[in-house]
A = this chain, B = another copy of it.
Amino acid sequence: MNIKPLGDRVVTKMAEAEETTQSGIILAGSAKEKPQFAEVIAVGPGGVVDGKEVKMELKAGDKVIMSKYAGTEVKLDGEEYVIISQKDVLAIVD
């Protein structure tokens, strides 16, 4: 699979509602809500986005926390992804 986000976007794969990261953190999200935890799969090139220079801070493999209401859900090969602007990613967890 080859998916190339445009601009300041990243493609993320949603984490299960509860999972343990390598450092042992239990990431818990309500089973009924869209989970807020995800892993970055692909990162856009950044550059000028809406007239403003954007530098990408995220890289593939980052575990991130996202705003609940941001991003676009996309189904590819039977799996759920969320494509989201880097500015709507709140934090990196490791």
The interface of chain A, by Cβ under 8 A from chain B, is 1-7, 9, 11, 23, 25-29, 36, 42, 44, 48-53, 55, 57-58, 65, 67-68, 72, 74-78, 83, 86-87, 89-94
Contact = CB atoms under 8 A, between A and B. Distances in A.
Contact of A2 (B51, B65, B72, B94): B94
Contacts of A42: 91
A91 B55 contact: no
A42 B94 CA distance: 14
Given A1-B23, A52-B50, A94-B2, A7 B87 contact: yes
A78 B5 contact: no
Given A78-B26, A90-B9, A51 B52 contact: yes
